[in-house]
Amino acid sequence: MTDKPSHLPERLALLADLNAARYITDGLLTGKEDVPAIALNKVTEPLPHNEARGALLPVRDLVDDAMHVFSADKATAADAWLAPRLHATLRLTRREAADRRFWNYLALGVAPDYVVWRQTTKPKDGGPPRVAASRFRGSADSQAFARLWWAAELFRNGPDYGPVVTACGQQEMFNSALRLSVIDHRPTAQALVTLISRGRVSTTREVNALLKAVNASAATLMYDVMAPDIERDGRPLAQWVEAAEWAPAVPRRGLPEGPDEERAPEESVATLTEHFAELFTGAPVRGKNTDDNESD
């Protein structure tokens, strides 16, 4: 099995797509090879800042803890635990998080063993278990660490990461929700989480049907008019990022706290929760009347 990198610098870095591709070998994707850490770090670029949030060890420690805590469970269970803690450890802005080079480095330079542990699956053609290359170098909804960060960013409710835990407990919220532009509307995201937390939708197929219905309805209804969000103030985020200089390590048991932003308006969330529940009532759920043997 792919092992922890033999060389870990003090700070995180950036790894360009072309350079990352050189190290995504078939041996790595099948968990039979390690990443040549020293060679990889020679082709990285430094972060554009020298702040404490760029330290590598806190991220590596977090990944080690995730693999230890969930070693006896399905690896998918680690998502809901790791997503909010990764987000609170990195303290990125959205502009920084949009840089694929950052996630390339986390996957290949910091924790390739985590990517192999978490993302190895059995191909449908019956071949040997392997990791999709997009888990190391891919889009925000598929890359192993980017998907966790964006799920935490889009589903947190101000400083509260509780909704993130609920959302990340459903793999379809990664597979489909992160691809929808409507999720950037906070009342929409919170209404979806509310329906899951209440048990109104629970299976992968039900979540998929709900998301399709919500996205289709968005073509004719403007959710931001129907259920307005408050105008967001950028100062709490800036202060939260700045506070990384003296912030302790994120808690392993209780949830960390995110930026001290105002939460999504409760009235708007309630309005969309009711609307989405009605949409789901008429949404076709594949295999609804058959045995639902689903896997994550």
Per the CB < 8 A criterion, the answer to whether 153 and 237 are in contact is: no
% pLDDT > 90, the chain: 91
- Model confidence pLDDT, tens digit, residues 157-200: 999 999 999 999 999 999 999 999 999 999 999 999 999 999 99
pLDDT confidence of residue 223: 95
Whole-number Å distance between alpha carbons of 224 and 184: 10
- Model confidence pLDDT, tens digit, residues 108-132: 999 999 999 999 998 888 789 999 9
Dihedrals phi, psi of 32, to nearest 5 degrees: -100, -10
For 24, left (φ over 0), alpha (ψ -120 to 50), or beta? beta
Range with the lowest mean pLDDT among 11-20, 55-64, 123-132?
123-132
pLDDT confidence of residue 200: 94
pLDDT confidence of residue 288: 67
pLDDT confidence of residue 123: 84
Band of residue 283 on the pLDDT scale cut at 50, 70, 90: confident
Whole-number Å distance between alpha carbons of 241 and 130: 36
DSSP codes, 240-281: HHHGGGTPPPPPSSS------PPPPPHHHHHHHHHHHHHHHH
Per the CB < 8 A criterion, the answer to whether 107 and 145 are in contact is: yes
pLDDT confidence of residue 82: 98
DSSP tally for the chain: helices H, then strands E = 16, 2
- Model confidence pLDDT, tens digit, residues 243-261: 999 999 999 999 999 999 9
Residue 40 tokens, joined: 């990889």
pLDDT confidence of residue 289: 53
pLDDT confidence of residue 232: 87
Cα 282 versus chain centre, distance: 30
- Model confidence pLDDT, tens digit, residues 127-143: 899 999 999 999 999 99
Band of residue 294 on the pLDDT scale cut at 50, 70, 90: very low
49 exposed, middle or buried (CB, 10 Å; 0-12, 13-18, 19+)?
exposed
